[in-house]
Amino acid sequence: MSKYAELCAYGRRGATLKSIASLLGWDQETYMPRGGGDARAEQMALMAGMMHERGTSRELGDLISACEGESLNDQQSACVREFRRDYDKRTKLPQSLVEELARTGSKAQDAWKDARKNNDFKAFAPWLTKMVDLSRQKAEAYGFKPGGELYDALLDEYEPNATAKEVEGVFTPLGEKLSALVKELKDSGDAPSDGPITIHAPEDRQHALGLHVLRAIGFDLNAGRLDITTHPFCEGLAPGDTRLTTRYDGKYFPGALYGTMHEAGHGMYEQGLPKGGTHDGPGGEAIPSFGTPLADDISLGIHESQSRMWENMVGRSRPFWSWIYKEACDQFAELGKFDQEEVYRAVNIVRPSYIRVEADEGTYNLHVMLRFGIERAMIAGDLSIADLPGAWNERFKKLLGLDVPDDTNGCLQDVHWSFGLFGYFPTYTLGNLYAAQFWQTINKELPGLESDFAKGDFGRLKTWLNENIHAHGRRYSAGELCEKVTGKPLASQPLMDYLGGKLREVYKL
């Protein structure tokens, strides 16, 4: 067996371990009885230890080095390059720092829960100070490219090869234009009514509608499931097994409908990755791709581009409602009081609010940009933790035009920073940006897509995504893939064109 085949086999066993750990995690969030908590924590810790040991072993390092000396084609080289990337990341952090981050992060998360409940920033501040400090140590251990900054090293964990400067270059013009658009919509005298989205919608009917949509858009239910949880997520467990979760609110059906479409977008990416296939080894032999970077997702930003495209560009479009309106009325009797156009407009309401996770398509990215600017300044040491609430409220007013009433509705609302997730937030907006830029190209390459959607036919879109995005695994970086697919580097204009075009029309401007 070639060293390359050995490396891929090593990766495959690691991926199998990871899929077992993921199954334990999925079960914990869906069906595990409460009493199983302690034993599950033990099981998860054991799995995490085994995976870490394998992922940082000398054996793996030697295999990668051996492959770096072999003559490989482009695909195989990309595979080895990404194995190296992961290995170096895992081995660069001292074990003591990894443990300290986990220990302090878990305590900081408890402190954050109380602080948010009691609107007590001062109680959380010392913990946040510790987490920022530990994250800076982590960034220093990772290192970053010349000319960059500490924050780059953290961003790189979620969006490989992206830098803060590049992100800023796209975010700044987007923020200005979006703020102006949101204000324009607010001043429109013809805002949609939220009547259609506040009707009574029984949970079992919502579930039936969700499954109907999943089947139509092409999520393979023979290779996946939809279950109920408190915090919805998608888990691409293994070849042929992708789990989606959702939650139901009987008075707000778009929550589950769009939540399910969002997770299905993630799920179809997982199903579209070549996990079940093989690729050529150096001797022409067929090597299973599962467990290699060739069958793995590129970045959180690209993952999110897939979920946001199905949720928003498809699900919040007029042709989608031409198709689903009748079925939705059959499921929810009260919806029939409103015509199709009223429902379409209602699911596109834009209304500035304090909480990111409840934000609409028009304001969501402004919430993300606020966090990006603030966490970047905290990591750089330009913003002291004591000044965080003031900085938050001032920027919030500027971006969203609202006065933040208290820290619970302000800088204390998200869990991320309490366990050291710095550099994660920007990937949400990067996802929207990639989605819009892909969307522009897709509509050029696939004319007439809207009339397909109006008939409930989403096959051409799914095939395009399979071939142009999913099939490559991690062969290209997110930035490279964007240029390869759209012919241009990532920019803010496609997202502004999409949002401005749709929302101005919805608000009759």
Q: Which residues bind Zn ion (CB under 5 A)?
A: 304, 307
Would you call 243 helix, strand, or coil by DSSP?
strand
User: Would you put residue 71 in left (φ > 0), alpha (ψ -120 to 50) or beta?
Assistant: beta
Q: Which two tokens stand for residue 223?
A: 């290779």
Using a 10 angstrom Cβ sphere, with 0-12 exposed, 13-18 middle and 19 or more buried, the burial of residue 96 is exposed
Least distance in Å: CB of 106 to Zn ion? 24
Q: Which of 159, 166, 235, 263 is catalytic?
A: 263
How many whole angstroms separate alpha carbon 193 and alpha carbon 31? 38
As a whole number of angstroms, the distance between CA 319 and CA 455 comes to 8
Instruction: Assess whether 168 carries a catalytic annotation.
Output: no
CB 233 to Zn ion: min, Å: 8
Q: Smallest Cα–Cα separation from 461: which of 438, 477, 479?
A: 438
Q: Kindly tell me which of 229 and 340 has the beta carbon lying closer to Zn ion.
A: 229
Closest CA to 398 of 183, 169, 185: 183
**Residue 9, token pair as written in the block:** 């086999």
User: In terms of Cα–Cα distance, which of 223, 139, 198, 191 is closest to 422?
Assistant: 139
The dihedral built from the CA positions of residue 338, 340, 341 and 346, taken in this order, carries a sign that is positive
Query: Tokens 């966090």 label which residue?
Result: 371
In whole angstroms, how close is the CB of 470 to Zn ion at the nearest point?
16
| CB 122, min distance to Zn ion, A | 33
Residues in the chain: 509
Based on CB atoms, which residue is closest to Zn ion, 307 or 418? 307
Instruction: Tell me the residue number closest to Zn ion, measured at CB.
Output: 307
C-beta of 271 vs 289, nearer to Zn ion:
271
For the bound state, the minimum distance from the C-beta of residue 157 to Zn ion, rounded and expressed in Å, comes to: 17
299 or 307, CB closer to Zn ion? 307
**Separation CA 269–CA 399 (nearest Å):** 33
End-to-end CA distance of the chain: give it in Å, rounded: 66
Q: Say if CB 439 and CB 309 are below 8 A apart.
A: yes
Q: Which is nearer to Zn ion, 270 or 304 (CB)?
A: 304
Rounded distance between C-alpha atoms, residue 11 and residue 274, angstroms = 15
> Least distance (Å) from Zn ion to the CB of residue 229?
14
Give the shortest CB-301-to-Zn ion separation in angstroms.
Answer: 11
Instruction: Give phi and psi for 236, each to the nearest 5.
Output: -85, 85
What is the C-alpha to C-alpha distance for residues 490 and 334, in angstroms, rounded to an integer?
43
In terms of CB distance, is 344 or 372 closer to Zn ion? Answer: 372
Residue number, 304 or 361, with CB nearest to Zn ion: 304
Give the active site residues.
263
